[in-house]
Structures are given as structure tokens and as C-alpha cells.
Amino acid sequence: MDKFLSLPADKQNKIVDAALASFGMNGYKKTSVSDIAQAAGISKAMVFHYFGTKKALYLYLIELCGETIMEAINKKFDNSVTDFFDRIKLAGDIKFEVIEKHPAILSFLRSVYYRENDQAIKPEIKAILK
């Protein structure tokens, strides 16, 4: 992970966005590291170099999504807003900020929460979501 985190932010985002989109569309089992690498414009070997395994990348993405969403909430959420409709607008603004940062984040999270049944990853998902 240190090697990945030492990359420039734009290159990190390109890899993350490719992985989010691939996993979000195909799920864990049907997504290949080759698909992610091709979408990110890097070699398959580099994906393994940065993350070690497909599973490590997937789990990293779940953690990153949580951090990204919490960062946006902490940055934008205003507890003094009490009007129901104003709160809905505020929540929408936060959602758009997250989507601007990583466009495929919602499809990935939807896949994680509702569609992921692969037993190779399911116990780790449950542990993270606790």
C-alpha cells in the first residue's frame, strides 16, 4: 500500500476510479485485475505491486469509500440546519461532492451492500460494516 499511496493523487484516483467502476458493475468475483488495470491504463502487474491481491484492493476501496463519505460529511454537514427540506438539500450536496471525487463510488457501495455474495470476501465485508 505504501507504494500506491506514494503515487501522485491523480494517478491514485485513476486506479481507484477504475477499480470502483469494475467492482461496482461486475462484483468481486467477476471483476478481473486485468479489467481494472486496462481501465486504469496500467499493467496488471502494477495493480498487484500496489495492492498485493485483488481482495486487498477491494477491502481498501471499502475503507476509502467510508473515509471519503465521512470527510465530506464532516466538511459540509451543519447541525444547525433543522428544516427537513434544507437537510435533504444538504445531504444531496454532500452526495454530489462525493460523486465528483469518485464517480463510481455509489455503484460500488450498492454492489457491496446489496449484491456481494462471494464467500471469499463476505466475512470481511461484514466485519468492516459492523
Any idea what the CATH number is for the domain that residue 14 is in?
Answer: 1.10.357.10
Instruction: Tell me the three cell numbers of residue 107.
Output: 455503484
**What pTM, to 2 d.p., does this model score?**
0.91
> Which residues, 6+ apart, have CB-to-CB distance to 30 below 8 Å?
none
- Cα–Cα distance measured from residue 82 to residue 17, given in angstroms and rounded to the nearest whole number: 34
Positive or negative, the Cα torsion across 47, 50, 55, 61?
A: negative
Q: How many domains does the chain have?
A: 1
With contact defined as beta carbons under 8 Å apart, do 48 and 33 qualify?
A: yes
pLDDT tier at 53, thresholds 50, 70, 90: very high
Question: Is 20 a residue whose pLDDT tops 90?
Answer: yes
What integer pLDDT is reported at residue 129 of this predicted model? 84
Interval 24-35: pLDDT, tens? 999 999 999 999
The parent domain of residue 29 ranges over 2-129
- Cell 460500488 -> residue: 108
| 68 Cβ contact partners less than 8 Å away, ≥ 6 residues apart | 98, 101, 102, 105
Over residues 60-114, the pLDDT tens digits come to: 999 999 999 999 999 888 989 999 999 999 999 999 989 999 999 999 999 999 9
Would you put residue 52 in left (φ > 0), alpha (ψ -120 to 50) or beta?
left
Cell 485513476, located at residue: 14
Q: Is the pLDDT of residue 116 over 90?
A: yes
